[in-house]
Amino acid sequence: EGATSESLSGVETVVAAPILNGPGEVIGALYGERHRSVRAAQGPLGMLEARLVELLARIVAGGLARVEE
């Protein structure tokens, strides 16, 4: 197996959601990552957290659309 990239060192999970403009074109992305934790109770990224990132991306897209008006 290859060497792990230093930029991903300690990263357990990543999630990304596209930021779309009015016609549905991708104009950016919202990205989040979860690092390995010493807290054993913290499990893998769940559906709720993934949906939250998607919701935040939609909120950003809506704000950008208002600014462009």
State the pLDDT at residue 39: 58
Mean pLDDT of the chain: 81
Q: What pLDDT is stored for residue 47 in this prediction?
A: 85
Q: How far apart are CA 65 and CA 22, in angstroms?
A: 7
Per-residue model confidence (pLDDT) at position 1 = 46
The Cα 39–Cα 63 span in angstroms is 36
The two beta strands, 26-35 and 11-20, are antiparallel
Model's pTM, two decimal places?
Answer: 0.67
Local structure of 42: helix, strand or coil = coil
